[in-house]
Structure 1
Amino acid sequence: MSKSARITGQVEYREGDGPALPIRPGLVEYEEGDQDVTLSWHDGDYRGSTALPRADWQRFLESQDIELLD
């Protein structure tokens, strides 16, 4: 079941070995897995999703770049 969070700071992810890409501030949905946390968001017509390693997810929470809403 998806939960809601808000991106409040600088949160980035990578597609493969590519450069770090930002996730714009705003609402996202997330689902926690054993190894990672999947985020999904939309920005106008664009829909994005990524799986963040748990260590990155925890770092973003501790730095308050992601705020949990549920």
Structure 2
Amino acid sequence: MTQHATTPTPRHATIQGHVTYREGDGMPITIRKGAVELLYAADSVTLSWQESNGAAGLAALPRDELERYVREGLIALAT
């Protein structure tokens, strides 16, 4: 029997308020409002989006931080 690696299925969400992430120990960076794609890992979630100039945006958040943003209504998960 052969096992196949599975690729996580992305979820979609919308940034609706002030959501930030940090690169290392740097200052908080704001993620612009709008559509994002979420890829879940064991302890984090990667958010990806496209900026208005066409540049790709990418950020990783701890899962508990994403859950807090969802509870506060700053990120709306697609159903």
**TM-score relative to the length of structure 2:** 0.84
1:3 aligns with 2:11: yes
The answer to which structure has the higher strand fraction is: 1
Deviation of the 1:32 alpha carbon = 1.2
Alignment of 1:1-70 (within 5 A): 1-43=9-51, 44-70=53-79
How many angstroms apart in 2 are the aligned matches of 1:17 and 1:11?
17
RMSD: 0.9
**TM-score relative to the length of structure 1:** 0.94
Taking only the aligned residue pairs, the percentage that are identical comes to: 40
Deviation of the 1:55 alpha carbon = 1.3
Structure 2: where are the runs of 5+ without partners? 1-8
Rg comparison, structure with higher value: 2
Structure 1: where are the runs of 5+ without partners? none
How many angstroms apart in 1 are the aligned matches of 2:41 and 2:54?
27
